[in-house]
Amino acid sequence: MSQDELSKAVINILKKEMGSVKDILPSDLLQNLQKVIGPEIEKLIKKSGYVTKSKYKALERLASNLEQRIIDLENNTKE
């Protein structure tokens, strides 16, 4: 889940919990909350040991490349 999707999910939860109170609040207040809360949510997620999907994919590619290099080196030493 991307940081933006997660922020939207938290905002939707806040909207649901606030119920009718949200109708009297300025509409941009929730958008501003998303801008403020979003980075904090991302920090909490990172502290929990999770990474973003893009970072995971990049690390996965790096690991795959390193594995291939090891295989190539092992094959070269056998020859």
How many CA atoms within 13 Å lie on the side-chain side of 18? Answer: 13
What residues does each domain of the chain span? 1-48, 51-79
What pTM was computed for the model? 0.47
CA-CA distances (angstroms) from residue 62 to 50, 55, 68, 70, 71?
18, 11, 10, 12, 14
Q: What is the pLDDT of residues 18-69, one digit of tens each?
A: 776 666 777 677 677 777 877 787 788 788 888 778 888 999 999 999 999 9
* CB contact at 8 A, 39 and 52: no
Q: HSE, CB side, 13 Å, CA atoms: give it for residue 54.
A: 2
Q: Per-residue pLDDT tens for 3-21?
A: 667 777 777 777 777 776 6
Contacts of residue 1, Cβ cutoff 8 Å, sequence gap at least 6: 9, 53
